[in-house]
Amino acid sequence: MAKDVRLLETALVPEAALAAFAAAHPQAGGIVSFTGKVRPDGDVEALELSHYERLTLPGMETLADDTLGRWPLDGLLIQHRIGVMRPGDAIVLVAAAARHRRDAFQAADFAMDHLKSDAWFWKREKRADGWHWIEPRAQDHADRHRWNQDTDLAP
Amino acid sequence: MAKDVRLLETALVPEAALAAFAAAHPQAGGIVSFTGKVRPDGDVEALELSHYERLTLPGMETLADDTLGRWPLDGLLIQHRIGVMRPGDAIVLVAAAARHRRDAFQAADFAMDHLKSDAWFWKREKRADGWHWIEPRAQDHADRHRWNQDTDLAP
Amino acid sequence: MSVTLVFLGKLADLAGAPERAVEAPLDWSSLVEALDGPLGDAVAGEKVRVAVNGTVLPEKTALFAEDGDEVALLPPVSGG
Amino acid sequence: MSVTLVFLGKLADLAGAPERAVEAPLDWSSLVEALDGPLGDAVAGEKVRVAVNGTVLPEKTALFAEDGDEVALLPPVSGG
């Protein structure tokens, strides 16, 4: 099973997930991973990610298929939290296992750029004065546009 | 302590090292890691990496400093095995923690390219007919030359 | 005889609930009519997209939904 | 009164040992003289570099080592 894509409503534990992923792909020479966490700086007390059942996980599956189609990988892991998280909690984990290092780096980088700008998540932060919806970041769109444009999974 | 560089004579356990690294850098928004293993394919029974005390670890420290000088990182981890390894054993782990995803990806990629082509290690493989020294791979040099050239740490 | 509207992101705040039932059939003009005030303005805004039963419409003004359909109103995504 | 030669990688195989003591002082011509056969050819080859006490020489023919110095003979690295 080359693709392992999940939406998690409870804690994402990157080290445990990576250990299981590595064990599932003993033939891979290299594994690149990215873990994204809620930053503990600033005055953010909590972060909530909402999703839409009919689009979010299917869109992540399509992104995984697209990534697997672009680089020769032994395996690809995408885990994404939804719900309420606290500073320090992991939000997202992407891992790519490949025979060749460069393929694993590029695949993980590509998947992250698209998850950040292209996946069906809506984010709000709780600060001292209440909840605030987060708008898309221009940098995330710029990151995605480094890749060519036949892979828009969401507007 | 932003830099953690080690030569290991016994087993490198990537998940444990990554968990410790993440715990040491709670403020980082993102962590990129690369784990390289002895591939279990082909007829390789064992791999031996030798090093030179007076150059290898100092060279890795210099590489870490150089990487930290190029990208704004919260932390950088480089662990490299020496000695005899079996198929499936981890050889190298690089992890970069940063506020911004792109910095962490580039730093880990850069450090790996230089470790593969530029660090003071000599490698031999044991196959059915005995031990064979491994020559440098042209691809590794090409990978390193993607970065600019003021960072040659070894010929 | 109803269509379920699903409000995502900040549209759920504006709507006061994550879902609302409206009368079927539903087209773009009857949707805009059903959603007044800031919610209607937001949905009509160019950045909001519309999906029917999990398929995003290339052009939301072509909306047509019947009894039992689910119409999702999707503001710009804000990333993971 | 000796210099320690350290052979790395396949040079250790050719030398039959990881280290060897040679008489001090040592310059490039006396090193080449001390290492005959395939080992000498390999060390003289353009890809082998030389370090004295942990400092790689820009030009190995400029070698000069005295009593107590460590001279490392470094074939091309093969990566991690």
Q: Do C77 and A133 touch (CB under 8 A)?
A: no
* Architecture field, domain C2-74: Roll (3.10)
**Omega before D25 within 30 of 0, i.e. cis:** yes
Q: What is the dihedral of CA C66, C68, C70, C71, to 10 degrees?
A: 30
How far apart CA C8 and CA C13 sit, in angstroms, is 9
Residues of chain A positioned with their CB less than 8 A from the CB of C70: 54
Local confidence band at B4 (pLDDT 50, 70, 90 cut-offs): very high
Residue of D nearest to B90 (CA): D80
Local confidence band at B137 (pLDDT 50, 70, 90 cut-offs): confident
pLDDT digits (tens, 9 = 90+) for B26-69: 889 999 999 999 988 778 999 999 999 999 999 999 999 999 99
Residues of chain B positioned with their CB less than 8 A from the CB of A102: 143
Residue of B nearest to D79 (CA): B116
Q: Report whether B62 contacts B134 (CB < 8 A).
A: no
pLDDT given at position A154: 47
Interface test with D, best of B8, B37, B122 (most D CBs within 10 A): B122
User: What is the β-pairing status of strands A73-81 and A3-8?
Assistant: parallel
Local confidence band at B154 (pLDDT 50, 70, 90 cut-offs): very low
Partners of C65 in beta bridges: C26
pLDDT digits (tens, 9 = 90+) for D1-37: 899 999 999 999 999 999 999 999 999 999 999 998 9
The whole-chain average pLDDT of chain C stands at 94
Q: Report whether A50 contacts C66 (CB < 8 A).
A: no
Contact residues for B72 (Cβ-Cβ < 8 A; gap 6+)? B98, B99, B100, B103
The full set of domains in chain B, from first to last, is 2-149 (3.90.1170.40)
Q: Do A27 and B40 touch (CB under 8 A)?
A: yes
Q: Does C8 touch chain A (CB under 8 A)?
A: yes
pTM to 2 decimals? 0.91
Residue of C nearest to A140 (CA): C79
Local confidence band at A155 (pLDDT 50, 70, 90 cut-offs): very low
Q: Do C77 and A121 touch (CB under 8 A)?
A: yes
Residue of D nearest to B58 (CA): D54
Q: Do D54 and B120 touch (CB under 8 A)?
A: no
